Amino acid sequence: MDGSGSWDAIDWNQIEDPRPRRSGQAVKESMDDFLLEDEEVLAQGHGVVLLNNREAGTLSVTNFRLLFVSQAKKCVIELGTIPLMTIEKLNDDVKLQPLPHLSDKNRPRELLQVIGKDMRIIVFAFVPKTKQKNEVFDALRRYTKPANLWDLYAFSCDPSSIKNDSEPKRRLLREYFRLFRRSFEEVSLCNEWWRLTRVNSSYSLCSTYPSELIVPRSISDEDLFQASTFRSGKRLPVISWCDPGSGAVLARSSQPMVGLMMNFRNNADEKLVCALSSRTTDEKGSPRKLYIIDARPRANALANGAKGGGSESSSNYPRSEVLFLGIQNIHTMRDSLSRLRDYVDAHGSISSNGSPSAVSVVGDRRNRGSTWGGGNLNSMTSFSSTLGEWLNHIQNILVGASWIAAQISEEAASVLVHCSDGWDRTTQLVALACLLLDPYYRTFSGFQALVEKDWLAFGHPFAERMGVPTVAENGGSQYELLRQPSLGNLSSSPSRNTLGSSGPSSNSSVQSQTSNNSSPILLQWLDCISQLLRLYPSAFQFSSKFLVDFMDCVLSCRFGNFLCNSEREREQSGVTNSCRCMWSYLANLRASGGNFHEHYNPFYDPIKHNGALLPPAAALAPTLWPQFYLRWTCPIESQGGDLESQWQAMNKKYADAMKAKDIAEWRAKDIKLKLESMKQNLQREKRASSTALATAQSAQRENAAIKKAIESIGCTIKFSTSEDKDRTEVLSCSLRRGADGRAQQDENGDFSVSISAIEDSLVSDAPGDHFCESLCPFRTREGCRWPDAPCAQLGSQFVGLKANFDAFDRLSIQDCYFGPE
């Protein structure tokens, strides 16, 4: 797609001018709220418009993704945000289709088109006459094609923070024990038919196979080495799945090296293949039928024979039958998906050309409103051809895997599957057949075990198919691994040359090779599972949304699980201990939402489908997977007619209601606790009030006694509390001498007396405080005995008063105030 299209002129005056920026540091700090852990901004453009939805915002190139943040909403726009490794192609020469109403000077020129491996085509418009587009484009060209494996974002995390539950090899071994229905604690693994061998522990038997293999018990390790020389890439026939009940097996390999005339043979290979069809478990013990499935078209298999490869002859393998499925190679699949992506983008409700197809550009009023093709019948026919081509590939894989599962389940036959190299079409068929045969693989844990076994351990070249760097055989790093072929190996990949071959290659040639080897092999397999999910909605624990998120995680290269091309390469690069695990990430996502998370299939019924799924051929008519292919261009239509999506929407509302209920119950409980606390505080206040009342009554009695004692010396008492002296009561009175010689009260008297009653704790121990006691003639050894004994300074006795004698010394008190003795 050349990116041609048309749209109205963009009003750049309504967009924030990016040029008056003081420093890049301030800009990067403003993006911290949108960055992931260990994510760094490398280049930025401001006032950029995403033409798909005409959203203006900030476009940032980080070490992980192309990040687009809305200028108005201040949030990440998902459509304009794509991981760098998910980007398949960049185009900075986007041509516009001129329209009469659009003047040439108003037409935006600074355009950048980004094509993704996830069916996304997005176009960004930059502010004219700035260098922003060049800065963003240069950063994208550099970081979307990293030179080394360790330049990927997956290696940017701190290795000490990696917490992997177990090694992939240990998980594979656990799956082997499950297939044998044996306890994982047993030392050896074998039964009457098969055994587990560790002959490939150093990868000397086959560098792209796992270190542990299941093989027929009658075959020795020496036979395995001899048989491997007869298969492309030494990928000899080994068992991928077995049924301990019937003895049937599902095996996989690469093509045999029979040559053009099909006259080359290998005794060890024939012995190994025949051992796969062990005798049945019935009373007669009759020989088991063996089907050899060649996934390629017959013509392609014959063409490979001219280069040393080919297919088996049933005459060389007793009780066998050879069948061809006609599945096309990786290049055909890549081109088919590219055509489908272009058409979906051009005729979706959200298009990269800025104009939805729901309105015809030509102006034919009779055909307006047609979603597909913009009302053009020829366009509709073109879409049918494009869609039919892709769905035909999906149907071929579905039919082939269903047929394989039916032979193993109903006939107890053994099946050997291969294509050319044994890691693309073979993996698709074997993994899908396992999913149909074994209900365990239709759960979350089983899906992980299946992917780790047939896709990762058996060497599907993820690095080549996704166009990312990997490690070389010697431990170094290069953009494309050059694998060590076996003698006479026929490789479908132009990069499969012998290690150490002379002649350096340029960057352009390396990237060209990577582009030629990329293919949506994993996507096709997930598409097939989505078709089965549509046919059997209660057979799978996971939902279609889980498959979409799983594919996005693989394409993003954010995790280390799907890096490199084989188990051996992942060990060499140390991705297990250096990168985060995708399975843990997905498990944490599900745990965050509980059983209502969108990854769970709400219709899952393990009891209803506890056996093999054997769909009839008439039901294997696939439809376009809307959740994946239409999510960017037709977001509403991609979810509208799906029962699972409707249930998820209802489930979300229910979850929100339950959350509100929990919040209300928590608040009610909190209010109840507060009421209990207030009740306890009230009881404590009540007890404190009673204590204070008793103290006040006691003080009142004491004050009455003091008042009575002072009145006995002819004084009137007035109590007041000093504001500046805590815990001190001041007793003050005014006295005036009357005509009759008696003391009379008068507010303007001759003098006033202030008596302070101070607590014992405030009385100082200074010697001056005991002055009266040292001069008192009535003092005894026991100390002052007043008021039980006379006082030298006071001619009377009164109870309960501690007088401030210094105050009395400063007063001129006449004897007549106390009266004659």
Q: Locate 708 and state its tokens.
A: 């009575």
First to last CA, the chain: 131
Are the C-beta atoms of 35 and 107 separated by less than 8 Å?
A: no
Does 304 show up as a binding residue in the annotation?
yes
Does 467 show up as a binding residue in the annotation?
no
CA–CA separation, 134 and 351 (whole Å): 24
* Nearest to 529, CA basis, from 443, 406, 426, 639: 443
Cis peptide bond N-terminal to 287, omega within 30? no
Please report which residue ranges of 412-437 form alpha helices under DSSP H.
425-437
Does 329 show up as a binding residue in the annotation?
yes
Cα diameter, the chain: 158
Does 422 show up as a binding residue in the annotation?
yes
DSSP 4-59: -B--PPP-GGGS---S--S-HHHHHHHTGGG--TT--EEEEEEEEEETTTTEEEEE
Does 497 show up as a binding residue in the annotation?
no
* Nearest to 633, CA basis, from 341, 373, 385: 341
CA–CA separation, 481 and 513 (whole Å): 11
Taking residue 576's Cβ as centre, other Cβ atoms within 10 Å add up to 17
Does 421 show up as a binding residue in the annotation?
yes
Calculate Rg over the CA atoms of the chain: 45
Residue 112, beta-bridge partner list: 124
Does 63 show up as a binding residue in the annotation?
no
Residue with tokens 């929990």: 662
What does residue 329 show for φ and ψ, rounded to 5 degrees? Answer: -80, 180
What does residue 245 show for φ and ψ, rounded to 5 degrees? Answer: -75, -45
Q: Locate 591 and state its tokens.
A: 């745990």
Residue 136, beta-bridge partner list: none
CA–CA separation, 242 and 437 (whole Å): 10
Q: 782 by DSSP, 3-state: which? A: coil
Question: Catalytic amino acids?
Answer: 419
* Nearest to 599, CA basis, from 537, 538, 542, 539: 542
Does 625 show up as a binding residue in the annotation?
no
- Long-range contacts, stretch 57-64, CB < 8 angstroms, 24+ apart: 58/31, 59/124, 59/136, 60/31, 61/136, 61/139, 61/140, 61/143, 62/35, 63/38, 63/39, 63/143, 63/153, 63/156, 64/36, 64/39, 64/153, 64/156, 64/556, 64/558
Does 420 show up as a binding residue in the annotation?
yes
| Sequence-distant (≥ 6) Cβ neighbours of residue 16 within 8 angstroms | 46, 47, 56, 71
Does 419 show up as a binding residue in the annotation?
yes
Does 307 show up as a binding residue in the annotation?
yes
Taking CA atoms, 784 is separated from 255, 771, 773, 787, 802, in Å, by 123, 11, 6, 9, 12
Does 259 show up as a binding residue in the annotation?
no
Q: Locate 711 and state its tokens.
A: 């009145």
| Length reported for the chain | 821
Does 425 show up as a binding residue in the annotation?
yes
Q: 629-645: string of b/e by CB count within 10 Å (b at 16+)?
A: bbbbbbbeebbeebebb
Give binding residues as ranges.
304-307, 329-330, 419-425
Give binding residues for substrate as ranges.
304-307, 329-330, 419-425
